[in-house]
Amino acid sequence: MSAARDVADDSAPQAPPETLLRAGTLLHVTRAASPQFVEPIFFRLIRVHADWITYYGWTWLDGYQIDARGDAVARRSIFVQPAGLRVLASTALAPRPRRVASA
């Protein structure tokens, strides 16, 4: 068994599958994603700029910075490593609430 497996850390960031990076996904962005995030933020994703040319392993995301109450406080474009993002809630995972038609 390798030494890396012996000291495996479950809290280490996991690379989110690309299917989870969809509009509406709530992300926790920390220094693991980019050194600029000394103060971590919550980020509601609008879009991934897959068509923008960047360094290998990095991508541009558009979305809203979210406060502790869940309200959008600023629209931002951020440059991050997807492998360092933590997915908190995904529209791909959570069923959407259904509207009940009133009679």
Q: What confidence tens digit (pLDDT) does each residue in 76-89 have?
A: 999 999 999 999 97
Tell me if the pTM is above 0.85.
no
Phi, psi of 64 (to 5 degrees): -120, 135
- pLDDT of residue 27 exceeding 50, the answer is yes
Q: What confidence tens digit (pLDDT) does each residue in 12-21 have?
A: 445 555 556 8
Q: How far is 9 from 37, CA to CA, in rounded Å? A: 21
Q: What confidence tens digit (pLDDT) does each residue in 37-64 have?
A: 999 999 999 999 988 888 898 999 999 9
**What element of type H or E holds 15?**
none
